[in-house]
Amino acid sequence: MANIKRVNLCFDIDRSDDKKAYDILQGKRNKTAYVTDIIIGNLEKNKVDIDIEILKQVIKEAVFNLNITTDMNTGQYQNDNEDIPEDVFDIISNM
């Protein structure tokens, strides 16, 4: 027997977005394939591939240009530029 899962959707036709979605879905012959394509397509569209090495290089250049010194042994940094929020250093420290 096939491994099939069901999902029950409810649309409030008084809400315009729900009505649009319902009307679109009703017009589709294969609703499961349509919903699957929409969900997967949306995930792929929002997926951002970041080259970590390029990101590291950009951060290194920014740190250098802002005169921030770091001790590679302790991970401590000296922020000579008060315009840089501490959150930036928290992000860098967690990389």
Local confidence band at 45 (pLDDT 50, 70, 90 cut-offs): confident
How many separate domains does the chain show? 2
Count helices and strands in the chain by DSSP H and E runs: 4, 2
Helix residue ranges, H only, 13-79: 16-26, 31-46, 52-65
The stretch 79-91 carries a mean pLDDT of 59
Bigger pLDDT: 63 vs 17: 17
Q: What integer pLDDT is reported at residue 16 of this predicted model? A: 94
Left (φ > 0), alpha (ψ -120 to 50) or beta: where does 33 sit? alpha
64 and 32 part of one domain: no
Whether residue 78 sits in one domain with residue 63: yes
Q: In whole angstroms, what is the distance from residue 49 CA to residue 88 CA? A: 21
Percent of the chain scoring above 90 in pLDDT = 29
pTM for the predicted model, two decimal places: 0.46
Residues 38 and 21 in one domain: yes
User: 71 or 19: which carries more pLDDT confidence?
Assistant: 19
Top-confidence residue, 39 or 76: 39
Are 57 and 88 within one domain? Answer: yes
Nearest to 25 by CA among 16, 38, 44: 38
